[in-house]
């Protein structure tokens, strides 16, 4: 089974995001960047499937600037076999990313695409679903457990009411949730080996995909600061305060 894992270079989750002074976006200059955490989980799951004898090759794909090569290298150091970088310096919207991934899938013919359910920079949660629709493949979103069967997958999904387990036929697209696994740290020997692994460089033109933005950002603002809470001595006082605030 060939597994394709898309990954995204985002602001590190430990960094406090700052809005640009002109409110056109968030500040990226001199900011630590890393792999999207949900994509790390996808890489880890692909590696575990390979270690269990269910997978043969893991292809790590990223769409972004040349610095995204390091994001791919991280995936290769974890256990990926080779990488593909589609160079694009501007913002890539989910629809354009899905179109690029479809073109890559058509070229590589993987049996499974496993990817993070969303990126922590835009929180769109759209690319996996769009890709599955374009391919006409089954999809299992928000996966917290994946079991490979005979030409099928059992995917346990995290939903509002708890957990839902579905059986889907392969090829398929699966998007990962936080509780699927705990990603490993790349060892120093594997980091060194990753430097010798192949990363093919492509452009959207190579796949015939139009990256023209369809969305316009009007303004980016920081959320309003939270007001300090107060302590009450009794339930009766709590009810009275809620009434004063018009909550009840």
pLDDT band at 78 (very low <50, low <70, confident <90, very high): very high
Answer yes or no: is pLDDT of 161 > 90.
no
Domains: count for the chain: 1
**CA 144, CA 94: separation in Å to the nearest integer?**
23
CATH code for the domain in which residue 212 is found: 3.40.50.620
Residue showing tokens 């936080």: 178
- Give CA torsion, residues 78, 156, 117, 77, to 10 deg: 0
Q: What is the mean pLDDT of the chain?
A: 94
**CA 125, CA 245: separation in Å to the nearest integer?**
35
For 104, the domain range is 2-244
| Total-model pTM | 0.87
Answer yes or no: is pLDDT of 61 > 90.
yes
pLDDT in tens, 175-222: 999 999 999 999 999 999 999 999 999 999 999 999 999 988 889 888
CB atoms within 10 A of CB 159: 10
Answer yes or no: is pLDDT of 246 > 80.
no
pLDDT of residue 245: 81
């Amino acid at each position: 089974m060939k597994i394709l894992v898309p990954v995204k270079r985002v602001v590190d989750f430990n960094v406090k995001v700052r809005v640009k002074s002109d409110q056109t976006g968030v500040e990226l200059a001199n900011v630590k960047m890393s792999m999207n955490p949900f994509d790390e989980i996808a890489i880890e799951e692909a590696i575990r499937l390979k270690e269990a004898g269910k997978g043969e090759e893991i292809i790590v794909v990223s769409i972004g600037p040349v610095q995204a090569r390091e994001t791919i290298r991280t995936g290769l150091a974890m256990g990926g076999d080779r990488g593909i970088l589609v160079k694009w310096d501007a913002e890539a919207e989910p629809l354009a990313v899905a179109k690029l991934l479809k073109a890559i899938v058509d070229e590589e013919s993987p049996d499974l695409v496993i990817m993070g359910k969303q990126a922590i920079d835009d929180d769109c949660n759209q690319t996996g679903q769009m890709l599955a629709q374009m391919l006409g493949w089954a999809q299992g979103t928000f996966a917290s457990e994946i079991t490979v069967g005979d030409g099928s997958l059992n995917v346990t999904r995290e939903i509002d009411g708890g957990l839902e387990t579905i059986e889907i036929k392969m090829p398929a697209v699966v998007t990962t949730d936080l509780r699927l696994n705990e990603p490993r740290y790349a060892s120093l020997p594997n980091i060194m080996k990753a430097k010798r692994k192949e990363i093919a460089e492509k452009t959207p033109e190579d796949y015939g995909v139009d990256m023209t933005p369809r969305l316009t950002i009007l303004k980016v603002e920081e959320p309003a600061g939270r007001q300090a809470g107060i302590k009450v001595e009794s339930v009766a006082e709590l009810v009275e305060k809620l009434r004063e605030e018009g909550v009840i």
